[in-house]
Amino acid sequence: MINLKKLIAARETLLLGVVVSLVLLIATRFPGFVAPRNLANVFNDTSPLIILALGQMIVIVARCIDLSVAANLALTGMIVAMLNTMMPGLPVIVTLTLAVAIGAMLGSINGLFVWKLDIPPIVVTLGTMTIFRGIIFLISDGKWVNAHEMSQSFTNFPRMELLGLPALSWIAVLVAVAIWLLVSRTPMGRSFYAAGGNPHAAVYTGINVGKTQFFAFVISGALAGLTGYLWVARYAVAYVDIAGGFELEVVAACVIGGISIAGGIGSVAGAVLGALFLGVIKNALPVINVSPFWQLAISGAAIVIAVALNARANKTKGRIILKNAEHAQ
């Protein structure tokens, strides 16, 4: 366990160094990039990705994957946007609660299929991703909900500033703290790692692996629902293809952050740093006149390197176990 913690800490430190170095390198071309206000804007732009990556982290740690998060975001966002057009006086706190509840319900659908029917998570979430997008088209008839149809309180909430940061950024911070407390201070959090690290051994310790994975999907769905409202309110528009393909960016943030696709390994700091790495690239490259195609190439290279490092770490751990077994004999 100590070696595992050291490995995770080393990956986080390395990634933090990469993010800081990247920011400083960009500052040599565009000094204004490191201005506090601009860095705050970069963090705010990355906040939706951070929230979704934290939910995805729990799912991946539990040895699953959720490819429906962006579709969940889009469907929840469309529902609350349409509700706002019908009930413009609905308090924001009620809208937030509904968004989280709807997202959690959609996530529970994924969890039930994985838990009760034992269908591979990638198959389930690919299917629900398509279904959710189809439902958006059915309920909206393919039409957009635009800014002039939304109430001012609905669209203003994510932009409300406190101590120089918008509410969207503060929510990302609060979610990060809440997920950290969940995975490090509660039995449920520890069960995610146990179920993902060694599901067979977890059963013998009294952990219901399927039920644990179900709750991982519920949490991921709830955060996707929360992000759905924040996304739609911030950009003041809702439509069928909102956040199209964003699920791949969420998974990329987790992989770059050191969360092992094999399950059982990952941290909140890693997920946040992985998201920030992609956020810095996304915001910086256009500013310094670098082609968006390089953004894809850099992100792809980072994913390949991260996967290679994960594979190497797993091989090293396997050699240590074998070595210890030989000494025991």
The 10s digit of each residue's pLDDT in 175-208 is 999 999 999 999 999 999 999 989 988 888 889 9
Please tell me the distance from the alpha carbon of residue 167 to that of residue 158, in angstroms, as a whole number.
Answer: 5
Task: State residue 9's pLDDT score.
Answer: 62
130 or 304, higher pLDDT = 130
Identify the pLDDT of residue 292.
67
Of all residues in the chain, the percent with pLDDT exceeding 90 is 59
CA distance 275 to 177: 16
Q: Which of 21-30, 59-68, 160-169, 247-256 has the lowest mean pLDDT?
A: 21-30
CATH class of the 2-26+47-328 domain in this structure: mainly alpha
Is residue 169 predicted with pLDDT exceeding 90?
Answer: yes
pLDDT at residue 322, as a whole number: 37
What pLDDT digit, counting tens, does each position of 18-77 carry? Answer: 888 888 888 888 888 888 898 999 999 999 999 999 999 999 999 999 999 999 999 999
User: What global pTM score does this model have?
Assistant: 0.90
At 235, which amino acid appears?
A: Y
Beta bridge partners of 165: 162
Average of per-residue pLDDT values in the chain:
87
> Quick one: pLDDT band at residue 312, thresholds 50, 70, 90?
low
Nearest Cα to Cα of residue 138 among 216, 82, 54:
82
User: What is the predicted pLDDT for the residue at 320?
Assistant: 38
Residue 6 pLDDT: 60
Question: What is the C-alpha to C-alpha distance for residues 194 and 63, in angstroms, rounded to an integer?
Answer: 10
pLDDT (mean) for 82-100:
94
Q: What's residue 5's pLDDT?
A: 60
| CA-closest candidate to residue 108, choices 198, 184, 227, 215 | 215
pLDDT of 8 reads 58
Flag the least confident range among 55-69, 87-101, 213-227, 277-291.
Answer: 277-291
In degrees, to the nearest 5, what angle opens at C-alpha 140 toward C-alphas 139 and 143?
Answer: 165
